[in-house]
Amino acid sequence: MRELVLDTETTGFEPGEGHRIVEIGVVELVNLMPTGRTYHQYINPNRPMPPEAFAVHGLGDDFLRDQPLFDAIVDAFLTFVGDARLVIHNASFDMKFLNAELGWANRPLLPPEQAFDTLTLARKKFPGAPASLDALCRRFGIDNSERTKHGALLDSEILAEVYLELLGGQQPDFALSNDPYEMGAGGKAAPLPRRPVPLPPRLTEEERAAHAAFVAGLGDAPVWGRYAKAGRG
């Protein structure tokens, strides 16, 4: 499965008040493994940078003046994104800005269901605890010492680590999956080889009978009964 961990930096909080995106950073994951592919773009907002926003990310007018407008990069951005799931911390914020920019550029909007919000996941997993990116880095022991200011690509790289920890610290190399693809050379998905003849069952009839007797002694409607009905028992 292809996922894109995404972050943006902006001139403010509301696109309806004329605020714009000034940076997009994206890290690609396939089957929860970083592929090494990223998307990173600074963007000229075509408006002055408010001092309070500059204090957050350090992207000023002199630097952004020489960057392309969103209209100039929108097609490359959409090509990179495709239909991949977007993993975003506080997804509603970034999605409203992305869709505002896409609307101004006369491009199709990103559907809300394409985004997965790690902030919502963190709050469900750790109710009542701080759920900012910095707080989650402290919880999981992730080094974010280079994050002296917000930066879209750096924050996406950090969020990718946080995301895997929120999923349980999975090591994808050892994860069991129904996905028929795994990572191949160069970060590309490659089909897994399949056995020409399935392995024969290893359970003896005596073992099956013993298991059935054990399940029967578990009381009414045991969970194992669902598997037996599905023919997996």
CATH of the domain at 6: 3.30.420.10
**105 and 161 share one domain:** yes
**65 and 141 share one domain:** yes
**74 and 119 share one domain:** yes
**109 and 218 share one domain:** no
The answer to whether position 183 is within a domain reads no
The answer to whether position 149 is within a domain reads yes
Q: What is the pLDDT of residue 145?
A: 87
Q: What is the pLDDT of residue 194?
A: 55
Q: Give the bridge partners for 3, in sequence order.
A: 29, 85
Q: What is the Cα Rg of the chain in Å?
A: 23
Q: What is the pLDDT of residue 193?
A: 52
Q: What is the pLDDT of residue 150?
A: 84
Q: Considering the chain, what is the average pLDDT of its residues?
A: 85
The answer to whether position 179 is within a domain reads no
**123 and 70 share one domain:** yes
How do residues 47-69 score in pLDDT, each as one tens digit?
999 999 999 999 999 999 999 99
Q: Which parts of the chain sit beneath pLDDT 50?
A: 172-192, 230, 232-233
The answer to whether position 232 is within a domain reads yes
**15 and 69 share one domain:** yes
Buried b (16+ CB within 10 A) or exposed e, 71-96: eebbeebeebbeebebbbbebebbbe
Give me the domain span that covers residue 28: 2-174
Supply the residues annotated as catalytic. Answer: 150
How many structural domains are present in the chain? 2
Q: What is the pLDDT of residue 200?
A: 64
The answer to whether position 62 is within a domain reads yes
